[in-house]
Amino acid sequence: MAVQELEGIKVAILATDGFEQVELVEPRKALDNAGARTSVVSPKDDKIRGWKFTEWGDEIKVDIPLKEAHAEQFDALLLPGGVINPDKLRMIPEAVDFVRSFFQADKPVAAICHGPWTIVEAGQARGKRITSWPSLKTDLKNAGAEWVDEPVVIDRNLVSSRKPDDIPQFSKGMIDLFSKKSGKARQPAA
């Protein structure tokens, strides 16, 4: 039987309409398969709709409305990308505060593609080594981050990735970081 690396770890997935579908669904599946308990947190109360590269995608259920969510309820945070999703979230003060609270509590955060926009808005990019979709390079540099073009980058409690093609490496890096930083990972039996 495989060890559940993230058994007992609760992960918030902050998203709204326009999240890149594969960037939420696939990392969530990896987290769930590793034993984590994932919850979609959104400013919307019921469902949010994904974006499938060039058109609207599927709807997914919101588990916890943002107005009822607090970082203290979770061990880690996942920020999927898509252009629309993080652009909307960074304009919602409660979403920005939610992201900031994970950094202030020194909890691990994973961001892919355009997801780092909310990290910039939360004032948490300065001094960090981050990758993202290439169009965020200037935004991240202006926010004081060191932007790099690599499939996955881990800097302290932040793991970041560039695009959907990087999801396998991103998911592995995210699970590794979350298991090390949460302090709740189950140890394999000797």
pLDDT digits (tens, 9 = 90+) for 54-79: 999 999 999 999 999 999 999 999 99
pLDDT at 182: 64
Mean pLDDT of the chain: 94
What are the Cα distances from residue 162, in Å, to 96, 133, 139, 174? 21, 5, 14, 13
104 pLDDT above the threshold of 50: yes
Between CA 97 and CA 8 the distance in angstroms is 25
Is residue 93 domain-resident?
Answer: yes
Is residue 4 domain-resident?
Answer: no
The kind and range of the H/E element at 62 are: none
CA angle 93, 114, 68 (to 5 degrees): 35
Is residue 186 domain-resident?
Answer: no
pTM for the whole structure: 0.94
Specify whether the CB–CB gap between 121 and 93 falls below 8 A. no
Which amino acid, 46?
A: D
pLDDT at 74: 98
Is residue 127 domain-resident?
Answer: yes
Is residue 82 domain-resident?
Answer: yes
Boundaries of domain holding 160? 10-181
Residue 70 annotated to the active site: no
pLDDT digits (tens, 9 = 90+) for 145-156: 999 999 999 999
Between CA 95 and CA 77 the distance in angstroms is 12
Structurally, the chain folds into a number of domains equal to: 1
CATH of the domain at 63: 3.40.50.880
Q: Which of 28, 88, 90, 114 is catalytic?
A: 114
What are the Cα distances from residue 181, in Å, to 56, 113, 169? 35, 22, 18
The kind and range of the H/E element at 100 are: helix 93-104
